[in-house]
Amino acid sequence: MSEPITEGTTTVPDIDLPGDAFDALLAAVSTVSGDEPSEGPAIDFEGLRVESRGETTVVEVDGERFEAGSERELHEVAADNAAFVTNWHFFERVAGEGTPRRAFVRWLEAAEERSVGERYAALATGVVREWGQLRVTATVTDRGERRYDVRHLEDAGVPIDELDRHEDPRDARDIVTFDPDGRYRPLKTAPSLRGGWVFSALDHREMYEVVETVYPATVANWHREREGRLDVDHWRETMGRQSGIYGVVQTWDRGEGHEHVNWVAEACCADSQCLKRREWEYDDETDLDVDGGDGVFPCREPCSLVVSAARKWTRLEGETERTYEFELTPSEKEQLEALIDAVADGRTEEIREADLRDPANRYRARFLRAKRLDADGNLCGVPTDDE
């Protein structure tokens, strides 16, 4: 999980108290006001405590006490401490109490680790968090309103005028569809998100919609995990639900261990392939031997891509093993191994054509093909089928 990055001043900015925040404060006080002192405070939130005592309203801000005998005096006190009032108003009246969205916006500005003053000072110039390949910057306006900038991590230092600027969160649907090379992205949490765009000056709802469009359900599952409510469906129970053409996956699990599931997880669920952190295992009692990754958001069950891949591997693994004999030089054997690694890791396009030292170099691969594959494409002339 990334740490918040803060730049700039440590001085709390001047905040103009907006009318809706003061109206909400008045409404909160009115619910407990009366001729007799109230039994408890109307507001008690992150350094701001407001209590009605008959005709007097007592306001405490970080331990400093104020008394207001009229609405005008209360407004003056609230205006002098607008950062605390707008902070309460945003999180308790606007952000959505108990929701994943509220938890996320609090995480974005490190609300659990910093005081109100420290946060507003940081927000004045921007607090940055990373969410997968997203870079989310939270700021505060001179009225205490949160604003958010969402862009690709690789575009961190790019001036906003040099990026494709978007205001409608629905535009993110097109952005996530294809990778930088124009290829369709079947897995939205794959580390293949293209850059060159920015959503700027979003409110918290719009920002949340962009994040959830880019990485569906990741905030909700992250929030469930933080509250200890993440419901995990492991491999066996997920595969047990498959039917139709995918029902064949169930035949792969013959009670002889779970090595095949390790292979699936290693192929599909590594950080290089998916930004989620795998929390599902073989079953409730049996963990996989493969690391689950370091992603900030959890994966609670084998996804549709894993199920689809497992279906294909189920059929392939149903074949009977055979023994083939090939004559290769030691370097050629190592070259085949390097080629498999390069394709599996997606490095083929990174290998320069002039770098003939790399075993996966295109010209070296073509030379090996010319030397070892016959006209029918059989390695060393050995056919795959005896017939």
What structural domains and CATH numbers belong to the chain? 19-91 (no CATH), 96-223 (3.30.1360.190), 231-317 (3.30.70.2320), 322-387 (no CATH)
Q: Give me the helices (H) in 215-275, please.
A: 218-226, 235-240, 259-268
**Distance in angstroms (rounded) separating the CA atoms of residues 58 and 69:** 9
Tell me what pLDDT residue 250 has. Answer: 59
Tell me what pLDDT residue 245 has. Answer: 53
**pLDDT mean by block of 10 residues, the chain; 387 residues:** 48 88 93 60 95 90 94 95 96 93 97 94 95 98 96 96 96 96 94 97 97 97 96 88 62 62 89 94 91 94 88 78 90 92 88 89 89 90 78
**Distance in angstroms (rounded) separating the CA atoms of residues 210 and 174:** 11
Sign of CA dihedral 156, 160, 165, 168: positive
Cross-strand partners of 138: 127, 148
**CA dihedral of 161, 173, 195, 151, whole degrees rounded to 10:** 60
Q: Classify residue 54 as left (phi > 0), alpha (psi -120 to 50) or beta.
A: left
Give the helix/strand (H/E) hosting 128. Answer: strand 127-131
Tell me what pLDDT residue 251 has. Answer: 56
**Distance in angstroms (rounded) separating the CA atoms of residues 215 and 134:** 10
Q: Give me the helices (H) in 152-196, please.
A: 172-175
Tell me what pLDDT residue 5 has. Answer: 47
pTM, to two decimals: 0.84
